[in-house]
Chain A
Amino acid sequence: MSTRKNILITALLGATWMVALAFGARVLFKYETTPGSVGPISAAWPSVSMIRRQTDKPTLLMLAHPRCPCTRASIGELAEIMAHSVGKVNAFVLFVKPPGADVTWDDTDLRRSAADIPGVTVLSDENGVEAARFGAETSGHTLVFDRNGTLVFSGGITASRGHAGPNAGENAILAAVKQEPIQYSRTPVFGCSLTKCKSATEGKLCSK
């Protein structure tokens, strides 16, 4: 192969390479930074909730998909929050169980990781009833209610989809626990969808 031809091919391949990488980066970037949907959020603790809220301290509630890899980052951030809020907050993680799911559905490493966090109570949300009550449609959606049951924070606690690290949600929750002013009371939620599929046995993909 002549040098000139090599140069030409290299230039073409290089250009293609850059375009492909730019396209790939854009797709990935868009995926990571597109927040999930959020349902109607109640400004106060729903009275019909099966979860018993204690009034001596604020209550943190995270609704999660037990198999969502992106939620692993949210659980990690929750561990961070709990480490800074020992004894100052009642925390619950509810793993949504769709209709028809067997007992092993939520027996995942994610649930075990959540259960290992001191001060966190892990519960199963059969058929996503509680998620619907609190308006959570995306895994990792976290809500914080004060002692009076008033919602003080709603949103995700990761900077992007499945991305660990400092984020505005985490900062807001820590401030709420400490009863300090909150800069952002709403943040985007990044994670798998909790509610779009009606049944785990339907065997077809759901669409948003």
Chain B
Amino acid sequence: MFEVAGLTGLPEAASERAEELFQQHRRQIFRQTDQLFAKLMLFQWVACIIIAILVSPRTWDGASSQIHIHVWSAIFIGGAISLFPVWMTRVWPGAVATRYVIAVAQMLMSALLIALTGGRIETHFHVFGSLVVLSFYRDWRVLVPATIVVALDHFLRGIYLPYSVYGVLSASPWRSVEHAGWVIFENIFLVISCFRSIHEMRFIANRTAALEASDQRSRQLFDDAPIGMAVVALGNEKFKQVNARFTEMVGYSDAELMTRTPFDITHPDDLAESQRLVKAMLRGTERCSVEKRYLRSDGGILWAARTACIIRDKDGKPRDFLIMVEDITERKHAEEALRGAKKEADRANQAKSEFLSRMSHELRTPLNAILGFGQLLERQNPTSQQRGRVEHIMSAGRHLLNLINEVLDLSRIEAGHLQLSVEPVAVAEVLNEALDLMRPLAAERSMDLTVTTEFTENLWILADRQRLKQVLLNLLTNAVKYAPVGGRVAVSVIQPEARKTQVVVSDSGAGIATEKLARLFTPFDRLDVEDSGVEGTGLGLALCQRLMHAMGGDIGVDSAVGKGSAFWIELPAADSPLAGLPKSRTVGAGDVSAATGGTILYIEDNLSNLTLVEQMLAEQSNIHLLTAMQGGLGLDLARQHLPDLILLDLHLPDIGGHEVLARLRSEKLTRDIPIVVISADATKGQIQRLMAAGVRAYLTKPLDIGEFFRVIDEAMGSRDRQLEKAVA
């Protein structure tokens, strides 16, 4: 019942190993006990001789004596008893026969000792002691021959010479049973002890087999890991164990690494950081990761992602480090190559931008002459044949100019140089302007250009007004161009979400095949309509997409062949800047002071912003407001009226705000007029540049009314003081 215990729950391989370990352990015990008995036998032999010499050295016959037979018995019988089992332990160590011979010999030795000591009762304990020592074999079978020897001795003596054993001349057979019974009584406990020992040995074997299997798995995981792994001793910091992948990575053999520390193969530039991390781990950080360089044996450098953690002993004390290393050399090289490539691309892009800028200038100059003289020719009453030729020149020139502008816009966006003024824009206003511009072309092609949604004046979106108009014009132009003559183009405005507004331009054109939709926003890809006779550069939609993204919006299309297309743009909704503005105000702390009056010129393309400022200044009777929605017109008004103050927007449709500012500052008449810039661009660099260029103040949209009046008052007051000074 003991021997089967502890075998359950182990896999077959582990069970076999457990059995092997068990048998191995048994063999080891058998051999060790054999050796013990070999020494014990020799010791007992010597002890027998000494006892015989001491107790009965000589036997007497009157006055004569001779060596006692006990001495000879100790020498010869004791020798015979001992030497053969000793020989057996040498020739057959661990064998069953050896154990049995030893068992018999040991009990015979007991009998000899009892004889030599004159049957002293104390010597009989040798029998019981011998049985206990025999149980060291943990083999209960060994007790059998030993017990048989004792039993036979008593049995035979009891039969043939009871007087010598029991001290009576005729003994009952039960005396033999009684004597043997005590031996058997001891044997019972010794047999139980043997079974328990075997049970424990099996348990240990099973545990050892399970541990070996677990250790084997761990070892296999360690050895076969696709990453480098190493165990480093905490004491001398040298490698204790490394796997094949690690040796492969660093190029050192196992033996070479065992004499080194990780620091010995660490790149000098990474040494300090590695040592710092080790100290951090010793202070309590369980795990740390770092990207570092190892020096390979061939002198090369291994870039590695190294993770280290502490291995603790059963008491929780740090014992070793476990290092896991992943080779990231290729990744590092790739990153380096990528950085180089990006740098090269940036340089190329810069070169491209410079090239385009130069080409723009170089192309625009002759185009100016072509289109200029073309217009002059149109005014000189050409013949119908000449008019046709002039129209060709003008058409080609405008196409070329459009192409240059789009290429430049695209280039600016990709270079990140596009400047946008994202502010609240009234959808209706921009859309109406675009529709007004498109109506002649639509009428020319007998097309129906309709607005299907009744959008309100209060629908505002966040966008750059000029760029939004550019996008809408592009979409409308495409719709009109690609729809058949007499077709239909519809515009609708919807709000798919509370804070989103979509403008949808639908046409009754041929539609776009699904497989071509992915190429729709690719520059210069006209989706195979080059031969359709419709003019185009293939840049319009690409530019629209980039502009919409730059403004924080999106663009898309729903199209099906034969059913037309619906292009949509989506932008964040905005609150009206006019909302909350009082219709009638009294002069207060924020108003222009009574002493301050004069003319203000506001150059702004956004009608809403113009309206806002108009309403803000409406009740200022001493202020005369002039407005211009283009840079060129603004310059003319400034020259003609010499206003006391110019409010200037930077994003203007014809001449940019920066250019207007430069021209005002360069002309003698307008040089001293205070200029306040009103822009949605609130970047610090922009403000600093313009203040350095001579603007009086810089107001950002949305306007703070109090700040607006304070700045106007201050700027116009300054102007008055300058004039007074000039008159004086």
Chain A residues engaging chain B, CB cutoff 8 angstroms: 6, 9-10, 13-14, 17, 20-21, 24-25, 27-29, 31-33, 65, 67-70, 72-73, 96, 98-101, 128, 139, 159-160, 162-168, 170-171, 184, 188, 192-208
Tell me whether A168 and B108 are in contact (CB under 8 A).
Answer: no
What are some 15 contacts across the A-B interface (CB < 8 A)?
A17-B101, A27-B69, A33-B161, A69-B59, A70-B56, A128-B62, A163-B164, A164-B119, A166-B167, A168-B167, A170-B167, A184-B169, A192-B61, A205-B66, A208-B61
Task: Fill in one digit per residue for B51-87: 1 if any A CB lies within 8 Å of its CB, else 0.
Answer: 0000111111111111011100100110011001001
Tell me whether B59 and A192 are in contact (CB under 8 A).
Answer: yes
Could you tell me the distance between the alpha carbons of A69 and B87 in the complex, rounded to whole angstroms? 34
Which 3 pairs across A and B sit closest by C-beta, in order of nearness? A200-B63, A197-B62, A166-B167
CB distance from B176 to the nearest CB of A (A): 15
Could you tell me the distance between the alpha carbons of A196 and B63 in the complex, rounded to whole angstroms? 9
Tell me whether B92 and A196 are in contact (CB under 8 A).
Answer: no
B166 within 8 A of A: yes
Could you tell me the distance between the alpha carbons of A100 and B165 in the complex, rounded to whole angstroms? 39
CB distance from B92 to the nearest CB of A (A): 7
CB distance from B264 to the nearest CB of A (A): 54
Tell me whether B63 and A199 are in contact (CB under 8 A).
Answer: yes
Residue of B nearest to A9 (CB): B91
Tell me whether A69 and B68 are in contact (CB under 8 A).
Answer: yes
The SS class assigned to the A binding surface is loop
Could you tell me the distance between the alpha carbons of A207 and B276 in the complex, rounded to whole angstroms? 100
B118 within 8 A of A: yes
Tell me whether A33 and B62 are in contact (CB under 8 A).
Answer: no
Chain B residues engaging chain A, CB cutoff 8 angstroms: 55-66, 68-70, 73, 76-77, 80-81, 84, 87-88, 91-92, 97, 101, 108, 111, 115, 118-121, 161, 163-169
List 5 additional contacts besides A25-B77, A69-B118; criterion CB under 8 Å: A10-B88, A69-B56, A99-B63, A160-B161, A162-B119
Could you tell me the distance between the alpha carbons of A192 and B61 in the complex, rounded to whole angstroms? 6
CB-CB under 8 A from A170, the residues of chain B are: 167
Could you tell me the distance between the alpha carbons of A192 and B70 in the complex, rounded to whole angstroms? 14
Tell me whether B77 and A28 are in contact (CB under 8 A).
Answer: yes
B77 contact from A21, A139, A166, A208, Cβ within 8 A: A21
Q: A166-B167, A168-B167 are in contact. Are A67 and B84 (CB under 8 A)?
A: no
Q: A21-B77, A24-B73, A166-B168 are in contact. Are A193 and B60 (CB under 8 A)?
A: yes
CB-CB under 8 A from B91, the residues of chain A are: 6, 9-10
A195 contact from B62, B77, B118, Cβ within 8 A: B62
CB distance from A32 to the nearest CB of B (A): 7
Could you tell me the distance between the alpha carbons of A25 and B164 in the complex, rounded to whole angstroms? 14
CB-CB under 8 A from B101, the residues of chain A are: 14, 17
Q: A68-B60, A197-B64 are in contact. Are A28 and B88 (CB under 8 A)?
A: no
Q: A24-B77, A31-B69, A69-B56 are in contact. Are A196 and B119 (CB under 8 A)?
A: no
Tell me whether B167 and A65 are in contact (CB under 8 A).
Answer: no
Tell me whether B164 and A164 are in contact (CB under 8 A).
Answer: no
Tell me whether A14 and B84 are in contact (CB under 8 A).
Answer: yes
Could you tell me the distance between the alpha carbons of A166 and B179 in the complex, rounded to whole angstroms? 14
CB distance from B610 to the nearest CB of A (A): 119
Tell me whether B164 and A13 are in contact (CB under 8 A).
Answer: no
CB distance from B628 to the nearest CB of A (A): 122
CB-CB under 8 A from B62, the residues of chain A are: 65, 96, 98, 128, 193-198, 200, 206
CB-CB under 8 A from A207, the residues of chain B are: 61
Tell me whether B64 and A67 are in contact (CB under 8 A).
Answer: no
CB distance from B70 to the nearest CB of A (A): 8
Q: A28-B77, A70-B59, A168-B167 are in contact. Are A202 and B64 (CB under 8 A)?
A: yes
Tell me whether B120 and A65 are in contact (CB under 8 A).
Answer: no
Could you tell me the distance between the alpha carbons of A171 and B169 in the complex, rounded to whole angstroms? 11
CB-CB under 8 A from A198, the residues of chain B are: 62
Q: A13-B84, A68-B60 are in contact. Are A165 and B77 (CB under 8 A)?
A: no
CB distance from A159 to the nearest CB of B (A): 5
CB-CB under 8 A from A31, the residues of chain B are: 69
CB distance from A77 to the nearest CB of B (A): 10
CB distance from A173 to the nearest CB of B (A): 13
Tell me whether B63 and A21 are in contact (CB under 8 A).
Answer: no
Tell me whether B65 and A67 are in contact (CB under 8 A).
Answer: yes
Tell me whether B64 and A204 are in contact (CB under 8 A).
Answer: yes
B80 contact from A20, A200, A203, Cβ within 8 A: A20
Could you tell me the distance between the alpha carbons of A107 and B168 in the complex, rounded to whole angstroms? 33
Tell me whether A28 and B163 are in contact (CB under 8 A).
Answer: no
Could you tell me the distance between the alpha carbons of A136 and B402 in the complex, rounded to whole angstroms? 158
Residue of A nearest to B168 (CB): A168
